[in-house]
Amino acid sequence: MTNNHITTHVLVLGGGPGGYPAAFKAADLGLEVTLVDLEKNPGGVCLYRGCIPSKALLHAAKVLNEAREAAELGIHFGAPTIDLDQLRGFKDRVVGQLTGGVGMLSRQRKVRFIQGRGQFVDSHTLAVTHADGSTSQVQFEYAIVATGSRPALIPAFDIGSERIMDSTAALGLPEIPETLLVVGGGYIGLELGSVYAALGSQVTVVEMLPRILANGDEDLVKVLAKQLAERFAQIMVSTAVLSMAEVEGGIQVQFRGADGEPFEQTFSRVLISVGRKPNSAGLGLETIGVAVDVKGFIPVDAQRRTNVAHIFAIGDVAGEPMLAHKATREGHVAAEAIAGHPTAYDPMAIPAVVFTDPEVAWTGLTEMEAQAQKRPVQVTRFPWGASGRATTIGRSDGLTKLIIDSVNERVLGVGIVGTNAGELISEGVLAIEMGATAGDLELTIHPHPTLSETVMESAEAVSGQSTHVYKRK
């Protein structure tokens, strides 16, 4: 492909959950589209090394946990044996099937796909370097930057040891370590920690802040924390990691605890999970005058347009929240804007889901945010101990809560912790987007017995008349 010169109407740089939906939407709108990505098929980090492989492994973890918990029902299994090669094979087949499917959809839409690394050389030209060292150039009228993000690194912990992993390395399942330290109590660390704990590792989580999942409401996180305390060896909050050093058989880690006193422990492996950083460097953005903020994000307007009118940015590289579904919506908006359609990215609610067991999900205004903003709200909670469906599946530890405007009773926020919370939260997203009131949810007949009834009964609680929760008058 050396010295190839390609012209296109729309260039999309990055084939992740923002990039390929943007390319597909633009093609569906009749535009000529070229998609550039490093992998042989679109999919990005989410499909190759993030959302999808982690959920495949979390499914395996759930199966293991349910098998162990079946004894409470009088069903007894022998001790499981884990074939790591077969488990890796399952994960890789899932990834291969989905990325291959996206590749087929790209061809069906006649999106030109180029595998390689792209860099802007001027405001209408992208240079692409291919794996064999050859280069090509793509001339475009419009460009959408969708280059995503990468795991954040802490230079002090980069000691050149294979025993220290980021999330990408951890998803490779190099082994089942006897002991594993997870640095960071966010969703990525807790999800991967849950996988390794189910596989047999003694998992310790360390978090600098006073609690895990610090951006989630405390009443929801408390339910998850109780379960994780039973499955993990330790959860250390208000604790800082001072240093790491490789020693025989592991990594020696020095901590400073909540009391200010230092202490040390040794672990077989360490997983660093302290957030992600946008991939905006090395793209030639400075060459074409695209602004980048101090954190590396590309500022955009409501149509996802940068300060350079024909250049757009979407997904992780365009700012928080760094979520695949947010990127997808942004990609659609950018494509519609390029096609000349009246459009804007203006969601009322973006759901967040932590795929642990139990799952934690929330959308819209959280109780913490309402308190910080001094919003007049009513908060209702429905404990899953009063849910027939939750009780029949042995998962009565959950909770569903609503954040309701005290003036007009509109639904402002929804939070759920419990099995399948990630599936249930969509009703909350729709309620907020449609401007629904608590009365609308209360009058919507939900099937029985289901977990979705907990949303209805939370709404009933606004009037103090929840069927399965008695409120003393």
Going residue by residue through the chain, which has 473 residues, state the pLDDT in tens, using 9 for 90 and above. 444 889 999 999 999 999 999 999 999 999 999 999 999 999 999 989 899 999 999 999 999 999 999 998 999 998 899 999 999 999 999 999 999 999 999 999 999 999 999 999 999 999 999 989 999 999 999 999 999 999 998 888 989 999 999 999 999 999 999 999 999 999 999 999 999 999 999 999 999 999 999 999 999 999 999 999 999 999 999 999 999 999 998 999 999 999 999 999 999 999 999 999 999 999 999 999 999 999 999 999 999 999 999 999 999 999 999 999 999 999 999 999 999 999 999 999 999 999 999 999 999 999 999 999 999 999 999 999 999 999 999 999 999 999 999 999 999 999 999 999 999 999 999 999 999 999 999 999 999 999 999 999 999 998 887 788 877 66
CA-atom Rg of the chain in angstroms: 24
pLDDT at 416: 98
For 471, residues 6+ apart whose C-beta sits below 8 A from its C-beta are: 461, 464, 465
pLDDT at 6: 93
Give the pLDDT confidence of 425-465 residue by residue, as tens digits: 999 999 999 999 999 999 999 999 999 999 999 999 988 87
pLDDT at 189: 96
pLDDT at 473: 64
> Is there a contact between 231 and 222 (Cβ–Cβ < 8 Å)?
no
The CATH homologous superfamily to which domain 155-274 belongs is FAD/NAD(P)-binding domain (3.50.50.60)
- The tokens for 150 are 């990468």
pLDDT at 468: 82
- Where in the sequence numbering do the catalytic residues fall? 448
- Nearest CA among 310, 336, 344 for reference residue 26: 336
Query: Which of 3.30.70.3460, 3.50.50.60, 3.90.230.10, 3.30.930.10 would CATH assign to domain 4-151+277-338?
Result: 3.50.50.60
Is the pTM for the entire model greater than 0.75?
A: yes
- Same CATH topology for 4-151+277-338 and 352-463: the answer is no
- The tokens for 375 are 């919003």
- Nearest CA among 398, 401, 377 for reference residue 389: 398
The residue ranges of every structural domain in the chain are 4-151+277-338, 155-274, 352-463
For 230, residues 6+ apart whose C-beta sits below 8 A from its C-beta are: none
Measured CA to CA, the distance from residue 323 to residue 465 in angstroms comes to: 37
Measured CA to CA, the distance from residue 330 to residue 340 in angstroms comes to: 15
CATH number for the domain whose boundaries are 352-463: 3.30.390.30
Instruction: Give, for 303, the enclosing helix (H) or strand (E).
Output: none
For 271, the 3-state DSSP assignment is strand
Give the pLDDT confidence of 172-198 residue by residue, as tens digits: 999 999 999 999 999 999 999 999 999
Measured CA to CA, the distance from residue 327 to residue 300 in angstroms comes to: 13
> Is there a contact between 391 and 385 (Cβ–Cβ < 8 Å)?
yes
Type of residue numbered 433: E
- What does the angle CA 436 – CA 352 – CA 41 come to, to the nearest 5 degrees? 120
